[in-house]
A = this chain, B = another copy of it.
Amino acid sequence: MQGYALTMHKIPVGVLGASGYAGRELCALVARHPALSLGFAAANERRGECLRIDGRALIFVAAEDAPLHQTPLVFTALPHGQSAEWVDRARGAGARVIDLSSDFRPGSARSTGVPYGLPELTRETVRGASLVANPGCYATAILLALVPAVAGGLIATDATVSVTAASGVTGAGTSPRRDLMFGEVTENFSAYALGNTHHHLAEVRSTLGAFGGDGIDLVFTPHLLPVARGILATVTLPLAVPLADPLAVWSDFYAGEPFIEVTAGAPSLRDVAHRNVARISVVAAAGVRRPTLVVVVAIDNLLKGAAGQAMQNANLVLGLDETAGLAA
């Protein structure tokens, strides 16, 4: 890859599924990237239409017409189940692929041998890979909250770990749905996928297992927020033993990470909006017999939860600085 940098040519990359929320963010990130240029933006149902990004115009092409063989790297931001075919096509054309669907994530049929791209936890497996499974947005928030405790063996083995999380509506995609219309979402809030039925749980459990957290009883309840973007997850975490300084566990675990902010104050969506960061706070609960922590993590679901993290992975795959194009 270095040849590109030496000659000052930018590396052309492509985006399949460029009209969705994550796809649009990817196009914008590529447009601002110092070492990448946008080779194509494919979106079948909007082919021929023009999208302005930072004042520049972009014409969507059909996926069939995408010059896959001319782009050393392709982002696939297609619906779950439709992505695998295009990943195969892009790889067949010689491109490396960052796949934002769940088709290759841990727990999926085709996950074997595909690195899971949550760089703060799995960086070394991503470097130079030819295909990376980009994590789900909820999974990113939950894993960043839990892994420091799991890796440290801090969680009580007989405990139930409760995770509630709330997401903005862009997490549900751009396809028109009655329940996502403004008139239904404004001034509303609801839980869904009750009883551990959300499909992100597979990649969460599999990744926790890789860090020694196989036996954790995790209960996850997602909620739909009347906001466009952002995920905030709140974890109630019973401990095996009390911790003198719980915040330090997370601070130490993420020391030096450019995209993780461990803070004393509780994070809000506003702190992370339009930024590729996760902000994490940890507090010990008062008035309980069993020592218990409350961990709160906030991310922008479209950046650290999707396109931003995909760019971290692309940088790692291409041998670039992981932070390139991702001002924190």
Contact = CB atoms under 8 A, between A and B. Distances in A.
Interface of A: 21, 52, 54-55, 158-160, 162, 164, 166, 168-170, 174-178, 180-192, 194-197, 201, 205, 215, 217-219, 221, 223, 225-230, 232, 234, 236, 238, 266-271, 273-275, 277, 281, 283-290, 292, 294, 296, 298, 327-328
Contacts of A194: 266, 281, 283, 294, 296
Given A169-B182, A221-B294, A228-B182, A191 B288 contact: no
B189 A166 contact: yes
A190 B232 contact: yes
Nearest to A277: B55
A181 to B, nearest CB: 5
21 contacts: A55-B328, A162-B236, A168-B187, A169-B181, A174-B178, A177-B181, A186-B186, A186-B228, A187-B273, A188-B269, A190-B232, A190-B267, A190-B268, A191-B266, A194-B294, A195-B283, A195-B284, A217-B289, A217-B290, A219-B294, A236-B236
A268 B234 CA distance: 19
B234 A285 contact: no
A292 B186 contact: no
A288 B180 contact: no
B191 A219 contact: no
**Which of A164, A217, A223, A328 counts the most chain B CB atoms within 10 A?**
A164
* Stoichiometry, copies per complex: 4
**Which of A162, A182, A197 counts the most chain B CB atoms within 10 A?**
A182
A286 B195 contact: yes
B181 A269 contact: no
Contacts of A190: 232, 266-270, 298
Contacts of A166: 166, 189, 223
Contacts of A180: 176, 181-183
Contacts of A273: 187
